[in-house]
Structure formats: C-alpha cells, structure tokens
Amino acid sequence: MKVSFKERVAGVVRRIPAGAVMTYKEVAAAAGHPGAFRAVGSLMKANRDPAVPCHRVVRSDLRPGEYNRGGERAKIARLTDEGVTVRDGRVKR
C-alpha cells in the first residue's frame, strides 16, 4: 500500500523530539519531496492532530512562523517550554 505525502510528512514531524525543530524544507526533503516545502506548510497549517507536533516546524530563516493554535506567540511559548531558545525572533539551534 502506498503511503501518501501527508502521511509521510506527519511521520517525519512526529519524530521531531521535544526541544528540537526542523524547517519546512527539511521536513519536505525527509518526506521524499524536497521542493514541497510550501505543501508542508499547508499541511501543518491544517493540522489538528495533537500527535503531530506542528509547532516544531519552523521557517528556513529559523523564524517560528505561524501556528494554527494561537499564532506565532503561542508557537514560541510552546517551543520555549520544550527548551528551544528563541532570540531576536529566531530559533537558535
């Protein structure tokens, strides 16, 4: 049975540990479609599954970006609660 792109993306994002992030581009590449970073963004925007930690996916410039559960401020709060450093509006790796 063929696994859909959406399922591959969700699988990649589920494996991002607390305290870590991946960019939309990195998620797309890990899901087998390196050019589909905008599609990853659309999937994360529509994600309502709490098992898929979409707040751990950030922009390529390491800015947090939007979050469908409260906007950028809520995303930053979730990331910092997990130990991610956000300084001057960017995630520090």
Residues, the chain, total?
Answer: 93
pLDDT of residue 58: 98
Q: How many CA atoms lie within 13 A of 57 on its CB side?
A: 29
Nearest residue to 86 via CA among 72, 68, 69, 67:
72
What separation in angstroms does the CA of 59 have from each of 1, 4, 10, 44, 52?
32, 23, 17, 12, 17
Selected catalytic residue, list 28, 36, 54, 76 = 54
pLDDT of residue 41: 97
Domain boundaries, the chain: 5-92
Beta-bridge mates of residue 58: 23
pLDDT of residue 1: 84
Beta-bridge mates of residue 89: none
The parts of the chain modelled with pLDDT lower than 70 are none
Question: pTM score, two decimals?
Answer: 0.96
pLDDT of residue 31: 98
Architecture of domain 5-92: Orthogonal Bundle (1.10)
54 is catalytic: yes
